[in-house]
Amino acid sequence: MDERELIKIKDECVAWIRKFFEDNGPGCNAVVGISGGKDSSVAAAICVEALGADRVIGVLMPSGVQPDIDMAHKLVDHLGIRHFVINIGDTVEALKKAATEAMDGELSVQSVTNIPPRVRMTTLYAVSQSNNGRVVNTCNLSEDWVGYSTRYGDAAGDFAPLCSLTVQEVKALGRILGLPGVLVDKVPTDGLCGKTDEDNLGFTYEVLDRYIRTGQIDDLKTKELIDKKHKTNLFKLRYMDCFDSGIEVKA
């Protein structure tokens, strides 16, 4: 994708964000969780271009000690946006302890991994509802494709500006938006388990993005893994399945 195409996409996304707020909260603020990674950085930056820095609120949510918290501070300083730092560590630990005691046993590894992002989303909505806000979903197409998100955690939100862009496209958009390279090219991690996204997935985003956009992939085992993750996690991309009683609604 060349620069002209990227600028066109950026301008269309900016217009789309403005229209969303016109229809779903004129005068409201965009509230975005800031990790210091590319997705939250680009999402915040494009909201600033769409709404102005005075209508974008960043929320930094370390869980105890976050070694790369300086990257999150670098972003909010670069954009000049209002921000809050809310440490969720005590809440996460209290919830884990209460759940473990109630079930008289250990929480699963997946449960422990997913509690922090769900607490973060609760925090974002608390900030949003107290500051006339709408919560930004920062997931990209690559993550959504293979279900690399937490349902009702980072997969939640009120609007999703990056959901149709791959990781490579998000990074390119970040450069068009003038973000510091250290934020755009930061190795993606979930900040929870100590591993990179690609370690957890079992393949690189470059391989995944090429497969998504061209259908081409060199390793058949990787293709099978991607296809399996995609099929297994499709439920995350739709509204919850609902029973239809067939009773007529006349309102």
In the chain, where are the structural domains located? 3-237
Per DSSP, the three-state class of 60 is strand
Average pLDDT over every residue of 207-215: 97
Residue 170 has pLDDT above 90, yes or no: yes
pLDDT of residue 1: 78
Q: Report, at the CATH architecture level, how domain 3-237 is classified.
A: 3-Layer(aba) Sandwich (3.40)
Looking at residue 192, its pLDDT comes to: 56
In the chain the first and final C-alpha atoms are separated, in Å, by 47
C-beta separation of 154 from 121 below 8 A: yes
The contacts of residue 147 (CB under 8 Å, 6+ apart) are 229, 230, 232, 233, 234, 236
Query: Mind listing the pLDDT tens digit for each residue in 94-127?
Result: 999 999 999 988 899 999 999 999 999 999 999 9
Does residue 193 surpass a pLDDT of 60?
no
Cα–Cα nearest to 76, from 45, 120, 39: 45
Provide the percentage of residues in the chain whose pLDDT is more than 90. Answer: 88
In the numeric block, which tokens belong to residue 80?
Answer: 């000049």
Residue 188 has pLDDT above 90, yes or no: no
